Structure 1
Amino acid sequence: MLDDYAFTRSIHVMMLRRLGVTDILQASDTRQALRELQVSGGVDIVLCDLVGRDLDHLEFLQQAARAGLVRAVALCSTLEPAVSRALERTALLVGLELLGVMSQPMRMRPLHRMIQQYRQRRGESKVQPEILKQATCANDIRRGLAQGEFQAWFQPKLALREGSLTGVEALVRWNHPTRGLLLPRDFLTEVLASNLIHQMFEQVLVQGLTFLRDMRRQNTNIEIAFNLHASQMASDDFADYIQGALKRYELPGSLLIFEVAESGLLDLEPKVRDNLLRLRMLGCGLAIDDFGLGFSSLQLLCRLPFSQIKLDKKFVNTLHHPISKTMVISTLALAQSLNMSLVIEGIGSEWVRDSLLQMGCEEGQGFFLGRPMCAEGLRHWLRERNP
């Protein structure tokens, strides 16, 4: 609860507690609010007012969203419809779900409705307390790489209508000896800062190619997607490295697709463009990952040799908003016009899957369709689907 006035805050906090919300942080300014989020590890919802303020509140929401410390925002203001629509676009731009705009001071009924809708869509889980987790250091990552602790996990991609497997995405997990199974959010920043991204990628690639080779020996071909950081493709010999790996494992390039985040496509070096083209010449697919979070131009998309667009999950999480529906439909039309396939990320429910089908989407991934699993888990999953 971010509000300058202690009296107003106390009333709103009392209302939230009456609605069963007991874990509440309070702040009178943005600095205090960010500090509270960092110490606590994050919240589900921030309640604040953007109208009549300077840019501090908007900048605070951007910082909190980038750090993964908040999922949604609810505004307490009296707004004209045009301003309300503009704020919806602002919330999507900073990567947050806008739950609604309530009058100031808030009333119990609309606040209750907003809380109930959020719980139904998200459940009651809190944002992972990133700041409280043990810090990851470069030496620990080097030790983990040397010990082979980084593992490839695989998340299925399915045809939405038939439910058939169209491929899998290789995701890295760190099987840490004392901290358990760690996700990329726990170590990827330090991996990039320590220039260890290629060493980690090599281990994931080898495990993925080994899995592909084993499946081909059983007369089964599966397309695997690997995530690339733009900095990896600035290397002179990156495409040669991939070509050599394909030869060693006796695999065609058509079984591989490489995903590059849209935000990494701006101001590309000539060497990166060359490597992208060479990967396509090897038969590999190229996907623009997290589409909708960056600001790539249509001209850029036409000039680069990509074959697939992966729409970021934030638009699926807010699919009930007209803007998100428009983004899905527009991206589908863009992909079709550029002769690219479209994969929708973050499909978490049957309703989302069915809504996307009605819009004309054909392929997706998400927890509702299939969760990430280790290689043996994927083999078991495949056997159960095709006994």
Structure 2
Amino acid sequence: MSAATVLEAHIPGSKSITNRALLLAAAAPGRSRLRAPLVSDDTLAFRAALTDLGTGVRDVGDNGYGYGDGSGYGDGSGEVWEVTGRGTGPVGPGRVWCADAGTAARFLPPFAATGRGEIAFDGSDQLRARPLRPLLEALTGLGAKVSGTGLPFTLTANGLAGGRIELDSGLSSQYLSGLLMAAPLMGGPLTVDVPRLVSRPYVDMTLALMRHFGARVEERGGAITVHPGGYAPADLQIEPDASTASYFFAAAAVTGRTVRVQGLGTGGLQGDTAFVDVLRLAGAEVTRTDDWTEVTGTGPLRGGFTVDMGDISDTFMTMAAIVPLADAPVTITGIAHARLKESDRIAAVAGNLRALGIRVEEGPDRITVHPGVPAPATIDCHRDHRIAMSFSVLALRAAGITLDDPSCVAKTFPGFHGELSRLFG
């Protein structure tokens, strides 16, 4: 295949958009249609949790990615999900199983707090280890009763009146997004003062989707105010997942190929589209239009730079994993909050690179990776889909790399290995 051939990567829908849109549609009175949702472990867990809370969700059509036939993903395989919302918070008693989905644990408790009754939340051991205290303390401050400081916990709701609170979102932007999405269902306006915030693009995504579903939102200084009045049903075309696309763009950069992703254009909602700017720093050629993004590898990766990836931290592993192929070290900063994800991602990346014989230095919020020739080794995925996907890209150029848990990619892209092999195998 010539370098001039454009490889069209088939990237499924954005997890971040899918789960936000599911919640907003559930909070709107009537039917909304979500086109091209992501069908994966996390989104199906989120969908199941909403149905357990009384939201109707049904499939329409086929998603075109083959997840619906014999893949074990059950009824979550539709090209269109039709959501029938109640327009109010849920009514207990109820139980919510969040599985491994951090968005379920951060988005659904505020939604539940706007309803009535007792609802118990729990999740996997991996999710239990992730922090929830700032969110639960905020809900308590707004009038909800919460037993516990993390999973498992029980929430007793009697509606929320709104008000003004301060929420430190220095550990996760999902706390803020969860509260903001619940705010239109409160009795009065909610103003949130945000002294620290990581991953600001995800909050921008939340606000844009809230407005799409009819919410009234204002920003002034470091505060965000959401007015009561609920949501209106709306249809939404879900963009391809920009975080998932990062692996295929990185693969183009290290193999000298050209990869294009349709539907991931300049007007999209996802901050992780900025990952291609990091690849541009490393020497790749990048073209973006209103309708698609394309990356072409132009030769050996260039290193010798420092880049703050705090706003796009879900993609820092993609870059770190391919730096051994560069001509100089690369330092990635601003990523302290990545230590609190599905794994301690800085430590996981550093440990796996060292197992490959690559020199690495790490700090609380940074990692420096040096060039080198990776030795054969088995990657410890830590049950983390992004570790598995990132090192799969390096394996395109380094023999003898295997994954101890290749199936963990099902959290966000069950067909990942097949698609990577189709394009680069």
**Is this a same-fold pair by TM over 0.5?**
no
TM-score by length of 1: 0.29
- Using the size of structure 2 for normalisation, the TM-score is 0.27
Highest RCO, 1 vs 2 (Cα 8 Å, sep ≥ 6): 2
